[in-house]
Structure 1
């Protein structure tokens, strides 16, 4: 593949596929549009979990065992917070604080998130452009049987235990796509657009909620390929399968494809899934990404599917 590839991504699962792409093709031809609906303020700091996971993953600094946070992290700051009775449900490692402190200070002085992240990526030698979905504030809120919860309170503090009724993205209607986002989706040099196997409702829908992004994706001249987050009737990580049940959906690649109807041209389905009745072209492969080799393999398979659809 000689052109560019754009990928919409959330956290850990999406970061794995982005890393695979950056090894399968030249990293500087891969553009990642990253969910910021998870962003929030905690202990006075601006936190961008999905962006930071991608920063750590592409720079080789990610904790290999858990997929998020930094390898070799220490926790003296959290120990001190805990000793003073501070909130400790969201863990901030000592090394992790560097991103949060520097981002918070620059946001306070008026720098846009996109510029800050570009500088962080450059400092760590990341060649792939990383584009926040917006520089504006969009906050994912989850309506549950316990009431309306901020995303991180649902996801981290309550460990996804409340029953999900619906999801909203506050601020989305007034938000604008981040710099470079629409260009990355409509660039004539773009040969494929991928949707990572991130949670469709919590990681991808926030991106699509920003006015102009869904339309640009639907109108892209490049084939749009979704990688299913469902493997053998369940999600590899996170609450995707639980949420689908609570929202009255089948736990299947077909249900995810229906959710993306009008946006995607084809879907990569895990080979362990039962036969799927999809209204769009599809291919099957082992989509589990345990090793770097797996991530490269899934990336190449998704690109091959895009090439076949394009032909």
Structure 2
């Protein structure tokens, strides 16, 4: 099984699927949020999935490392550095390692694989590309990277346009293409469609690989009753003139997804979604606990396999 994932929603879905027996899981994670801070290469979405599956995640916030300290960040702040991107001491150790390996010329996919193995992660975490690309937002306060928008500005600016700088030069990794080709099921996590899933699909060759894959494609809506559990997906969709609902998600994925899983609160949208040529299934998709994550994951298999 292959999961396309980004953000906290992606990590939750990955954790649920990883908890199932007899599931060989490969996760293609978003790397378009990657950015350098204090000279170090930070990969927030990949790290969130890695920390979650390693049992290291700070569950109170959904990202970062549990039982974290901020001593190094305090020193940087005292030296006059901008510290709006909260990077804890343990987290910085990972970023130092990644940056060191990148400076040595090692392939980003190999680095991510080694980190996951060292932390005891059993599913395979795959990068969609080893090349640089970055989500850029045109907002009412000017151009921003995603981390500037999400962390520094706390999602307050109005998003007017989204584009992926460098994507036209990016090449998909053979691991990502292989995972899509050989999957018995492809799952789109309940991640932000615009800035978590779209960057993966925008890499030349990936969208076509999903369309041409022999496996069925199922997506879990990131919106429940028009709202996201965490993150700016609904607000971003509204500001871009898209309907912030499970139906809006279905329209966005039309032609890619065979089945959309929606929350029971959105059951009234089923016929409108089916009119788009998509199968619909509804259940409680809120995943506040590990047991509920596992139950939602099992439901996906029940629907599709």
Q: TM-score, normalised by structure 2?
A: 0.96
TM-superposed deviation, 1:123: 0.8
SS in 2 for 1:24: coil
Following TM superposition, where does structure 1 have runs of at least 4 consecutive aligned residues deviating by more than 3 angstroms? none
TM-superposed CA distance for 1:302, in Å, is: 1.5
Judge conservation of contact 1:114–1:179 (CA < 8 Å) in 2: no
Match of 2:63 in 1: 68
**Matching of residue 191 in structure 1 with residue 184 in structure 2:** yes
Query: TM-score, structure 1 length as denominator?
Result: 0.95
What are the ranges of 5 or more consecutive residues in structure 2 without an aligned counterpart?
none
Which of 65, 79, 83 is the equivalent residue of 1:84? 79
Q: CA deviation at 1:274?
A: 4.7
Structure 1 portions without partners, runs of 5+? none
In structure 2, how many angstroms separate the alpha carbons of the residues matched to 1:125 and 1:274?
39
1:8 and 2:4 matched: yes
Q: How does 1:292-311 map to 2 (within 5 A)?
A: 292-307=290-305
By how many angstroms is 1:305 displaced?
Answer: 2.0
State whether residues 131 and 179 of structure 1, in contact with CA within 8 Å, keep that contact through their aligned partners in structure 2.
no
Q: For 1:282, what is the secondary structure of its paired residue?
A: strand
Instruction: Give the CA deviation at 1:26.
Output: 3.7
C-alpha deviation, 1:85, in angstroms: 1.2
* Aligned match of 1:202: 195
Shift of 1:118: 0.5
Partner of 1:257: 250
Residue of structure 1 aligned with 2:218, choices 225, 234, 240: 225
Work out the CA distance in 2 between the residues paired with 1:41 and 1:266: 37
Contact 2:267 2:282 in 1 (8 A): no
> Is contact 1:230–1:253 with CA below 8 Å preserved after alignment?
yes
Deviation at 1:262, TM superposition (A): 1.3
1:157 corresponds to which residue? 152
Q: Alpha-carbon deviation of 1:70?
A: 0.5
Instruction: Confirm whether residue 114 of structure 1 aligns to residue 109 of structure 2.
Output: yes
Q: CA separation in 2, counterparts of 1:141 and 1:304?
A: 38
Compute the displacement of 1:191 (Å).
1.6
Deviation at 1:67, TM superposition (A): 1.1
Q: 1:130 aligns to what?
A: 125
Q: How far apart in 2 are the matches of 1:208 and 1:149?
A: 21
> What is the total number of aligned residue pairs between the two structures?
300
Q: What is the rounded CA distance, in whole Å, between the counterparts of 2:268 and 2:212 in structure 1?
A: 29
Q: 2:39 aligns with which of 22, 41, 44?
A: 44
Partner Cα distance (1:223, 1:305) in 2: 11
Superposition CA RMSD, Å: 1.0
Alignment partner for residue 247 of structure 1, among 240, 250, 257?
Answer: 240
In structure 2, distance between residues paired with 1:194 and 1:285: 16
Q: Which has the higher helix share?
A: 2
CA distance in 2, matches of 1:25, 1:222: 20
Q: Distance in 1 between matches of 2:93 and 2:303?
A: 40
CA distance in 2, matches of 1:150, 1:57: 24
